[in-house]
Amino acid sequence: MFVTRLISGIILVALALLTIITGNWVLYFTVLVLSLIGAFEIYRACHVREGGKQVFSLFSGKVSANKLELAGYAGIVLFYVALRLNDPFYELMAIVAAMMILLCVYVFTYPDYHAEQVMASFFALVYVGVMLSFIYQTRMLPGGKYHVWLIFLCSWGCDTCAYCVGMLFGKHKMAPVLSPKKSVEGAVGGVIGAVVLGIIYAVVTKGPALQYGTICGIGALISMVGDLAASAIKRNMEIKDYGTLIPGHGGVMDRFDSVIFTAPVIFFLSSILIG
């Protein structure tokens, strides 16, 4: 399992390097695909896929979708189209339009779907589609080719540092019911580790050390909430992993749970503190 996880991690880092360095359309479509896959995993976890008839099917039914799912995917695509217009007005309009599309499906197919499924569909659209898009949006900022890496430094970096410190010094449980293995000591180590990584990154790239360190510290705190939030959903839905797409890691939601929370924070902090 460790070898599989390690190999998958190396491939993920290589793909991240390729897509983020290239940027523009390559990163745009990569994040869009990740958003659609993540939404699929949420739909499956929250039982959205169990309502109505499957109207789309490929590979002997292994890939299928009902009308509510298709409306959710269409909403995510619509939002990403609006992103290319580079105007918050159109992005907001796309989100509102997506909500209306979901409600139209709910009304005109009643009683195929329950209200909880419609809410879960919109939740996935915002939670995965909108929030994950901030990877692309951060990359497109002035200086974004440097700022975007802070997302991964303070999410994956914090996770790694927290794990190491927790294993060595962890005694006090941070969330004993939700995640018994996480400790307060590990959390502190993760935040400090993320700050240090941010400063080192600033030195290497000749960027603003104070701003990068501050952004990584705040981002690390937020990333832990994102990790726990995704875990809480899994516990409520009684599943171990969101998927099996990434060997040794699970699904997109299992690997990008903290990134999803961190990306918007890095975007806004970079815009405010660095400009």
- Asked if 105 and 163 sit in the same domain, the reply is no
Question: Which two tokens mark 9?
Answer: 């991690």
- Asked if 115 and 146 sit in the same domain, the reply is no
In the chain, what percentage of residues exceed pLDDT 90?
A: 56
Which helix (H) or strand (E) is 42 found in, with range? helix 24-45
Q: Give the tens place of pLDDT for each residue, 22-74.
A: 889 999 999 999 999 999 999 999 989 877 667 666 655 556 788 999 999 99
Grouping H, G, I as helix, E, B as strand and the rest as coil, residue 27 is helix
* C-alpha–C-alpha distance, residues 210 and 215, integer Å: 9
Please report the beta strands in 88-189, taking only residues with DSSP state E, as ranges in sequence order. 173-175, 179-183
- Asked if 100 and 181 sit in the same domain, the reply is no
CB neighbour burial string for 60-93, b if at least 16 within 10 angstroms, e if fewer: eeeeebbbbbebbbbbbbbbbebbeeeeeebbee
- Asked if 44 and 111 sit in the same domain, the reply is yes
Question: Does residue 4 belong to any structural domain of this protein?
Answer: no
Radius of gyration of the chain (CA): 19
Residue 126 belongs to what domain range? 24-132
- Asked if 59 and 123 sit in the same domain, the reply is yes
Which helix (H) or strand (E) is 65 found in, with range? strand 63-66
Domain boundary among 72, 101, 132: 132
Q: Give the tens place of pLDDT for each residue, 165-186.
A: 888 887 878 888 888 788 888 8
- Asked if 153 and 258 sit in the same domain, the reply is yes
Question: Does residue 74 belong to any structural domain of this protein?
Answer: yes
Domain boundary among 101, 132, 163: 132
- Asked if 128 and 181 sit in the same domain, the reply is no
- Asked if 40 and 89 sit in the same domain, the reply is yes
Q: Please give the full DSSP string across 8-21, using - where no structure is assigned.
A: HHHHHHHHHHHHHH
| Number of neighbours of residue 242 by Cβ within 10 angstroms | 25
Looking at 206-251, list the stretches that DSSP marks H as alpha helix, in order from N- to C-terminal side: 209-237
- Asked if 147 and 234 sit in the same domain, the reply is yes
Beta bridge partners of 54: 66
Question: Does residue 7 belong to any structural domain of this protein?
Answer: no
Q: Give the tens place of pLDDT for each residue, 91-137.
A: 999 999 999 999 999 999 999 999 999 999 999 999 999 999 999 99
* C-alpha–C-alpha distance, residues 63 and 159, integer Å: 32
* C-alpha–C-alpha distance, residues 149 and 135, integer Å: 9
Q: How much is the pTM?
A: 0.91
* C-alpha–C-alpha distance, residues 44 and 67, integer Å: 14
Q: Total domain count for the chain?
A: 2
Domain boundary among 99, 132, 165: 132
Question: Does residue 39 belong to any structural domain of this protein?
Answer: yes
**Omega prior to 88 cis, within 30 of 0:** no
- Asked if 203 and 251 sit in the same domain, the reply is yes
- Asked if 146 and 79 sit in the same domain, the reply is no
Question: Does residue 11 belong to any structural domain of this protein?
Answer: no
- Asked if 126 and 157 sit in the same domain, the reply is no
Question: Does residue 8 belong to any structural domain of this protein?
Answer: no
